Amino acid sequence: MTSNLSTSAGEKFQLLVNLMARLRAPGGCPWDREQTFDTIKPYLLEETYEVMDAIDSRDWAELTGELGDLMLQAVFFSQMATEQKLFRVEDALDAINEKLVRRHPHVFGEETAQTGDDVRKIWSEVKAQENRDKNGASASMLDKVPRALPALVEAQQITSRAATAGFDWKDASEVLEKLREELAEFDAARESGSAEQLEDELGDLIFVLVNLARFVKIDPEQALRKTNAKFRRRFGFVERTLAERGVSLADSNIDEMESLWQQAKLGEKTP
């Protein structure tokens, strides 16, 4: 099926909805028909990370396809919901359109925002009011952060929300001071603490690092993903160079591997 450039985004989205309905209908695809909300969840996460990989590698052609795969997941969930008379994809679109207008009063209403920080403050205030309207005044502002999130992302969200209420350090230097404190506590636990205490202190240490990332406006998830990619790249150089020498990793030693690691590192800095 070829794409018609004159077709509107709305018409193309409707075609995707129709295709998914056909796949799930009697006589459609057996695999698609047997899927449930629970069996599809892992694919949603997989497609999300494939989108992120395409962005990291700046592969825009790949990103085009991966975004299509990600949109398919939303349509798949909505089709199953339609079959169970829970909601329709139109309802999901209404929900996000209304939310975007509601959470951007500086664009669609009377509020003003000059900086990204202003926008984040408004967004948090609107979300907090939505939570109170839905759950009552006693609801915690952290209740809307899903516990099922990856721990790093959960830490980002709960600390950002707490900060909007003023529960925060003044600046990055205070966070660094806290980091040194947590490092000392971790070191003490390593020397004499139990495994449970060591785990607790390591968690505190990572939590402070997430806050430090927030203060310097770095996404810790993306920073770690880039470091992971860097490690893969450099370790791959070590493996390839050893193989060219006819040496396996098992037959090498840490000094030889470290020397090759430094070569890989130096090569990345060479213009």
- For position 246, what pLDDT does the model report? 95
Domain's final residue, options 102, 130, 146: 102
| Residue 181 structure tokens | 């404190």
Domain's final residue, options 102, 118, 141: 102
pTM of the model: 0.66
Q: How far apart are CA 256 and CA 254, in angstroms?
A: 6
Domain-located, residue 4: no
Domain-located, residue 28: yes
Domain's final residue, options 47, 79, 102: 102
Nearest CA to 175 out of 135, 130, 207 is that of 207
Domain-located, residue 260: yes
From residue 266, how far is each of 57, 269, 270 by CA, in Å? 21, 5, 7
- For position 137, what pLDDT does the model report? 59
Name 193's Cβ contacts closer than 8 Å, sequence gap at least 6: 201
- For position 4, what pLDDT does the model report? 62
Tell me: pLDDT of 143 over 90: no
Q: How many domains does the chain have?
A: 2
Q: How far apart are CA 105 and CA 109, in angstroms?
A: 4
Tell me: pLDDT of 256 over 60: yes
Domain-located, residue 135: no
* In contact, 106 and 122? CB cutoff 8 Å: yes
Which residues constitute the domain of residue 72? 10-102
- CATH number for the domain that contains residue 68: 1.10.287.1080
- Residue-wise pLDDT for 209-220, tens only, equals 999 999 999 999
Three-state DSSP state, 26: coil
User: What are the strands, taking DSSP E only, across 150-235?
Assistant: none
Domain-located, residue 253: yes
- For position 201, what pLDDT does the model report? 95
Domain-located, residue 178: no
Note every long-range contact of 139-148, with CB atoms under 8 Å and residues 24 or more positions apart, other chains counting. 141/165
Domain-located, residue 243: yes
- Residue-wise pLDDT for 25-73, tens only, equals 999 999 999 999 999 998 998 999 899 899 988 999 999 999 999 999 9
Considering only residues 256 and 116, tell me which one the structure prediction assigns the higher pLDDT.
256
Least confident of 17-26, 77-86, 142-151, 169-178: 142-151
- For position 270, what pLDDT does the model report? 56
